[in-house]
Amino acid sequence: MRDPEIISTFVEQNFIKGRQFIHTIGKELTPCYLFEPAVVKSRAKAFKRAFQYHLPDTSFYYAVKSNNFPDVSQAAIESGFGLDVSSGAELEMALEIGAKDIVFSGPGKTESELDIAVIHSGKVKVLMDSFTELKRLEKRAAKADRKVRAGVRINSDPKGLWRKFGILLHDLNDFIQMSKNCPHISFQGIQFHSSWNMGPEKQVAFIKELGQTIASLSASDKKMIRFIDIGGGYWPEQGEWLHVSSANKNNLNPELHINCAVSIEDFAMEISRALFENIHNQIGCRICFEPGRWICNNSMHIILKVIDKKYHNMVITDGGTNAVGWERFETDYFPVLNLSRPEIKERECLILGSLCTPHDVWGYRYWGKDIQEGDILMIPTQGAYTYSLRQNFIKDVPQVIVFP
């Protein structure tokens, strides 16, 4: 189902914003990413406010992998967030920009990555991914004669490819017992994560399962749990917009479908209720969150210029989809706004990039009165899982312009 009102309102708001951009930065800097730090700060504060309204003890960490442009992380830190990193490279970047509260998650951490975490143990908490990693971290910490704060990831969806993450819930007690035999590990908590959540149902369901497992622990083991980190996966409020017939790459007018997402306030209310009913009735611990997409999605936009109008219904832009690193727009719909000829009307036209590959699609239509060579186009809200995936494929990646 396509909801014209949702999309047209979104388009109208971003036409206004886009014209402000062009008035300020000019038309000669395309292709570029345009980044708004104020948006990151606003959304970080809104996310915190939603959960702190319900929960007495919280911490928040921005998931760096969703957009690893350092200024995004810096804006999150300035909003009272820590950083959630998933590699040694992300950890080093976090330390370089002055982060003082970091969680290091992800499977397959290397010896050198663990060593960085151990050296900076005052700032870094390691979320271990397996029994093997517990033993390896103990060995690295013992070698450095450091004590490392740590938790363990619990797998919340042990099916298919998601099996790679964490340990199974029924192994939690065994993991805690093993951690007691690691004198250089201070076991402090639990993390779980579910992705692509349009609503809180998956998080709520797993919190109930986790509560049952915690109930089976001894009183002394329960006291070891100082935090529960429920990860990220919160979808932005506009929802997910998809091309239903995207499998047909020759279709210039695919149907659209909107998967609606609930507000972050609704996420907070339902998740908090589940925590009080299943966790806080047993242990008083801090609740941690690792939002990524919800924080950064609306903060970055892609600005392009039409460099060639080949047919009445096909144009080529000066930037290619190596800027996002994958064939996103063959499946995902985002409005392409013609800032040079704005109009709240969408017209059919294949918008293609300048890479030497047919899989270089920005969109199947544009919003505007017309489209001609030299026109400036904007694809709004491209802040999540685009910049981080960019690649020097055929052409260089665009520059980033910080606005204002």
- Residue where a domain stops, chosen among 275, 296, 317: 296
For 82, the 3-state DSSP assignment is: strand
Q: How confident is the model at residue 244 (pLDDT cuts 50, 70, 90)?
A: confident
Q: How confident is the model at residue 295 (pLDDT cuts 50, 70, 90)?
A: very high
Question: Regarding predicted confidence, which is higher, 27 or 332?
Answer: 332
Q: Establish if 251 belongs to a structural domain.
A: no
pLDDT at position 54: 99
Q: Establish if 135 belongs to a structural domain.
A: yes
pLDDT at position 374: 97
pLDDT at position 256: 82
How large a percentage of the chain has pLDDT more than 70? 97
CB 322 within 8 A of CB 95: no
**Same-domain check for residues 324 and 398:** yes
Q: Establish if 14 belongs to a structural domain.
A: yes
Q: Establish if 271 belongs to a structural domain.
A: yes
Q: How confident is the model at residue 1 (pLDDT cuts 50, 70, 90)?
A: very low
What does the pLDDT look like over 90-114, one tens digit per residue? 999 999 999 999 999 999 999 999 9
What does the pLDDT look like over 135-156, one tens digit per residue? 999 999 999 999 999 999 999 9
**Same-domain check for residues 18 and 162:** no
CB 263 within 8 A of CB 200: no
Q: Establish if 327 belongs to a structural domain.
A: yes
How large a percentage of the chain has pLDDT more than 90? 91
CB 304 within 8 A of CB 366: no
Task: Indicate the average pLDDT of the chain.
Answer: 96
| 122's tokens | 């005052």
Q: At residue 246, does pLDDT exceed 80?
A: no
What does the pLDDT look like over 311-331, one tens digit per residue? 999 999 999 999 999 999 999
Q: At residue 2, does pLDDT exceed 50?
A: no
Please name which of 122, 106, 118 lies closest in space to residue 144, comparing C-alpha atoms: 118
Q: Establish if 112 belongs to a structural domain.
A: yes
**Same-domain check for residues 285 and 336:** no
Catalytic residue among 32, 260, 288, 356: 356
Q: At residue 240, does pLDDT exceed 60?
A: yes
HSE (side-chain half, CA atoms, 13 Å) at 187? 27
Q: Establish if 359 belongs to a structural domain.
A: yes
Q: Establish if 256 belongs to a structural domain.
A: no
**Same-domain check for residues 195 and 325:** no
**Same-domain check for residues 222 and 310:** no
pTM, whole model, 2 decimals? 0.96
pLDDT at position 247: 43
CATH number of the domain within which 145 lies: 3.20.20.10
**Same-domain check for residues 292 and 360:** no
Domain count, the chain: 2
How wide is the angle at C-alpha 323 spanned by C-alphas 317 and 324, nearest 5°? 120
For 205, the 3-state DSSP assignment is: helix
| 181's tokens | 């035999």
Q: At residue 39, does pLDDT exceed 50?
A: yes
Residues 6 or more apart in contact with residue 288 via CB below 8 angstroms: 58, 59, 60, 61, 103, 189, 191, 227, 228, 229, 230
**Same-domain check for residues 119 and 197:** yes
Q: How confident is the model at residue 251 (pLDDT cuts 50, 70, 90)?
A: low
Q: At residue 28, does pLDDT exceed 60?
A: yes
CATH number of the domain within which 352 lies: 2.40.37.10
What does the pLDDT look like over 332-370, one tens digit per residue? 999 999 999 999 999 999 999 999 999 999 999 999 999
For 65, the 3-state DSSP assignment is: helix
**Torsional class of 364: left (φ above 0), alpha (ψ -120 to 50), beta (otherwise):** alpha
For residue 304, give its domain range: 4-35+297-402
**Same-domain check for residues 209 and 91:** yes
What does the pLDDT look like over 52-62, one tens digit per residue? 999 999 999 99
pLDDT at position 183: 99
The answer to whether 32 is a known catalytic residue is: no
